[in-house]
């Protein structure tokens, strides 16, 4: 428990202080070490490999672009810097930006024929650009042969043919293994040109002897790692980051949700290549010599993959942790064992078997115990393969089925939060606690929340802001304080639902405004059943002009879109039962249902829900609504019923009680 508290504290409000302290220590470390300290060199190496890991993780971990050809940007970046430094009067630091620019330009060439709609036209543009450059270059070297940077007819023609091919290659439209193999073949093709190119020393390479000091390398590498980390951290907490992970999980579903998949992939590819080029420039400044076999070696891919996988793929801190592990293994343990690659390979196998999600996976499990289902499901699948336990395999498969995996009727009043210790509300609070535990066991991808307290008039509204954070004060109970909230939104699912609703003839809009007010029901319900904001949400408004059937249709299409995206969702419908509220001042300890008749109606309907008798509920609904003044015409129940396909599952009333005269209940609907 102490470790859990420490980790949660590190990620909580004190997280920024911890990060600032670590940065301060690393800034001051060189002052306490000799100028040529080996520890300084080790830290420099950690910064460089962490940056390389960030670049690869951005593509593979966040965008799903698994690449084994990142070494092409390492080689191009290193040689671009070496060429500028060797053949011009530029200093090493003036030449360093060339490493990033060269990598960026090469990545841009690969991005040219990207757009799906006009892929053929853009492929022609890439070829046309390459041929135009070829003709211009041939004309120039006829006029001035001394400017021929290739120095060989063979190398020049191979390079130009490669340029034309890459201009036409729709690389970013490839997926999975095809993309991985293509990037590796591109790296090998470029390496073959450099192996014969006399300008870069052919196979002998080039030297970068300069007056750069270890201290300069240390601080520049540290700064590059910090900037890269900050950029990725900010990206992953924006709507861009949500779109990026949507592309990784299912690019077709992301495209149908309005995400510009082509632009997302291109931006990640360009940024990743630039970061890789700049990091490689620092690396070769340190080693002084750069050769084609060392710069374009496939071993670079294995090192970078190890860094990311060991630390935790798809996490911001993972590459930094992985870089520390790699440098310790490569520079310390390998030196002791004398077999560097053997030690690294053995450790890689152990990590994949014992920590398949890296060290950050362990940290995540300690921080969010309710999200350990990936590990348990994987174990069930392995158990099936190893021991023939088909029942275990079936349980794993069923547990991951997309769609609605649970539905609950919850109170929308904030009193359960603002008067949490009131004995009169103890049963309802305990019921909300049971729902929280249910959600932990169900491990949904998203909580779909239909709140009767978020009113819409003209259009059906869906929350589309990537992150919702702030303080909320209830209009009616403001004297009892404020409620803090920090939620993330499943933007991909929200966009899909808006499109589906529009196709169904329901005018819908996505709400994406900073500071847009969040309703009390959403804030209080999340406070009680999703306290850490671990599970992303999709908040749906209550349109005052929608009837029971139209609201039921909204539930149906929401469930259909969740299934289409392969997501497991829990539906929370926030609203009450009888709707009479006290108009006079009274103590909360004296709270009760406003009238015996309304209490009777509430209990009767709850019994029908527990019996899963949908037909009888619908038959009595008009009388229930009229006589008990049911909150929002019981439309929140309609939304849940639609999401559940018109049927109730294993229902259970967890709690029933008053909310300042009105009726409230915590009910499991499925």
Classify 612 as helix, strand or coil. Answer: coil
Q: Looking up tokens 């909360």, which residue turns up? A: 588
| DSSP collapsed to 3 states, 577-591 | CCCCCCCCCCCHHHC
- pLDDT tens for each residue of 76-86: 999 999 999 98
Alpha helices in 443-533 (DSSP H): 491-503, 520-529
The token duo for 384 is 């099936």
- pLDDT tens for each residue of 343-401: 666 776 777 667 766 777 666 655 544 444 444 444 444 344 344 444 444 433 334 57
Higher-pLDDT residue of 239, 412 = 412
- pLDDT tens for each residue of 630-662: 888 899 999 999 999 988 888 999 999 998 889
Return d(Cα 332, Cα 328) in angstroms, integer: 5
Q: Kindly give the pairing relationship between strand 652-659 and strand 662-668.
A: antiparallel
252, burial (CB in 10 Å: exposed 0-12, middle 13-18, buried 19+) = exposed
Return d(Cα 138, Cα 157) in angstroms, integer: 10
Higher-pLDDT residue of 7, 533 = 533
Q: What is the pLDDT at residue 153?
A: 62
Percent of the chain with pLDDT over 70: 80
Quick check: 513 pLDDT over 60?
A: yes
Residues 362, 372 contacting (CB under 8 angstroms): no
Own/partner pairs for 99-102, CB < 8 Å, 24+ apart? 99/277, 99/278, 99/280, 99/281, 100/274, 100/275, 100/277, 100/278, 100/281, 101/277, 102/76, 102/77, 102/277
- In order of 107, 157, 158, the CA distances from 163 in angstroms are 12, 10, 9
Q: What is the pLDDT at residue 118?
A: 44
- pLDDT tens for each residue of 23-51: 898 888 888 888 778 889 899 999 999 99
| Predicted TM-score (pTM) of this structure | 0.58
Comparing CA positions, the residue from 238, 233, 301 lying closest to residue 264 is 238
Return d(Cα 618, Cα 275) in angstroms, integer: 60
Residues 540, 450 contacting (CB under 8 angstroms): yes
- pLDDT tens for each residue of 542-577: 998 899 999 999 999 999 999 888 889 999 999 999
Residues 192, 155 contacting (CB under 8 angstroms): no
Classify 38 as helix, strand or coil. Answer: helix
Q: Which helix (H) or strand (E) holds 405?
A: strand 403-410
- pLDDT tens for each residue of 149-165: 666 665 666 666 666 66
The token duo for 464 is 């589309």
Comparing CA positions, the residue from 587, 607, 606, 604 lying closest to residue 596 is 604
Return d(Cα 575, Cα 551) in angstroms, integer: 14
Quick check: 499 pLDDT over 50?
A: yes
Phi, psi angle pair for 539, to nearest 5°: -100, 125
Domain 403-592+633-668 belongs to what topology?
Protocatechuate 4,5-dioxygenase; Chain B (3.40.830)
Residues 65, 174 contacting (CB under 8 angstroms): no
- pLDDT tens for each residue of 278-293: 999 999 999 999 998 8
Helices (H) and strands (E) in the chain, counts: 29, 12
């Amino acid at each position: 428990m102490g470790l859990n508290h420490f980790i949660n504290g590190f990620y909580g409000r004190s997280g920024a202080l911890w990060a600032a302290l670590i940065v301060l220590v690393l800034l001051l470390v060189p002052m306490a070490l000799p100028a040529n300290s080996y520890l300084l060199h080790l830290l420099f190496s950690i910064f460089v490999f962490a940056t390389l890991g960030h670049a690869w993780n951005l593509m593979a971990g966040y965008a799903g672009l698994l690449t084994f050809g990142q070494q092409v940007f390492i080689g191009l970046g290193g040689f671009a810097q070496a060429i500028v430094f060797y053949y011009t009067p530029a200093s090493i630091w003036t030449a360093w930006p060339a490493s990033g620019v060269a990598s960026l330009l090469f990545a841009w060439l690969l991005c040219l024929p990207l757009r799906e709609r006009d892929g053929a036209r853009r492929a022609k543009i890439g070829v046309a650009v390459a041929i135009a450059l070829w003709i211009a270059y041939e004309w120039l070297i006829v006029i001035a042969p001394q400017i021929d940077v290739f120095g060989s007819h063979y190398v020049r023609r191979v390079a130009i043919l490669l340029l034309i091919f890459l201009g036409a290659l729709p690389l970013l439209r490839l997926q999975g293994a095809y993309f991985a193999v293509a990037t590796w073949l591109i790296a090998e093709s470029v390496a073959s040109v450099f192996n014969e190119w006399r300008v870069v020393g052919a196979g002998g390479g080039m030297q970068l002897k300069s007056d750069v000091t270890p201290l300069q390398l240390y601080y520049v590498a540290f700064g590059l790692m910090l900037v890269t980390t900050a950029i990725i951290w900010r990206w992953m907490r924006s709507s861009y980051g949500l779109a990026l992970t949507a592309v990784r999980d299912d690019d077709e579903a992301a495209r149908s949700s309005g995400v510009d998949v082509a632009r997302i992939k291109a931006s990640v590819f360009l940024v990743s290549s630039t970061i890789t080029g700049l990091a490689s420039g620092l690396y070769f400044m340190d080693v002084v010599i750069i050769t084609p076999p060392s710069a374009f070696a496939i071993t670079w891919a294995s090192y970078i993959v190890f860094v990311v996988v060991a630390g935790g793929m798809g996490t911001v801190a993972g590459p930094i942790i992985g870089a520390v592990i790699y440098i310790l293994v490569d520079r310390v343990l390998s030196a002791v064992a004398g077999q560097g690659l053997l030690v690294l390979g053995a450790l890689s196998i152990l990590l994949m078997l014992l920590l398949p999600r890296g060290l950050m996976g362990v940290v995540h499990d300690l921080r969010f115990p309710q999200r350990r289902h990936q590990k348990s499901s994987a174990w069930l699948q392995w158990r099936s393969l190893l021991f023939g336990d088909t029942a275990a395999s079936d349980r794993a498969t069923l547990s991951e089925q997309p769609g609605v995996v649970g539905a609950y009727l919850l109170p929308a009043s904030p009193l359960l939060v603002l008067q949490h210790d009131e004995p009169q509300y103890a049963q309802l609070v305990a019921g909300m606690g049971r729902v929280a535990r249910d959600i932990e066991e169900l491990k949904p991808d998203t909580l779909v929340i239909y709140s009767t307290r978020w009113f819409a008039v003209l259009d059906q509204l869906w929350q589309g802001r990537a992150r919702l954070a702030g303080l909320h004060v209830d209009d009616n109970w403001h004297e009892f304080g404020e409620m803090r909230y920090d939620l993330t939104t499943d933007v991909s699912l929200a966009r899909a639902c808006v499109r589906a609703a529009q196709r169904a003839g329901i005018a819908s809009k996505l709400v994406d405004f900073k500071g847009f007010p969040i309703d009390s029901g959403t804030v209080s319900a999340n406070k009680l059943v999703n306290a850490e904001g671990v599970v992303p949400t999709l908040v749906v408004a209550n349109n005052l002009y929608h009837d029971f059937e139209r609201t039921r249709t909204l539930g149906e299409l929401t469930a259909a879109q969740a299934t289409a995206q392969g997501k497991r969702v829990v539906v929370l419908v926030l609203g009450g039962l009888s709707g009479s509220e006290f108009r006079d001042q009274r103590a909360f300890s004296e709270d009760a249902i406003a009238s015996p008749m309304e209490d009777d109606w509430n209990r009767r309907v709850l019994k029908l829900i527990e019996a899963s008798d949908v037909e009888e509920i619908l038959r009595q609904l008009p009388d229930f609504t009229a006589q008990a003044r049911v909150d929002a015409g019981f439309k929140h129940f309609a939304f849940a019923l639609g999401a559940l396909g018109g049927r109730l599952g294993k229902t259970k009333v967890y709690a029933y009680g008053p909310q300042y005269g009105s009726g409230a209940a915590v009910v499991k609907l499925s």
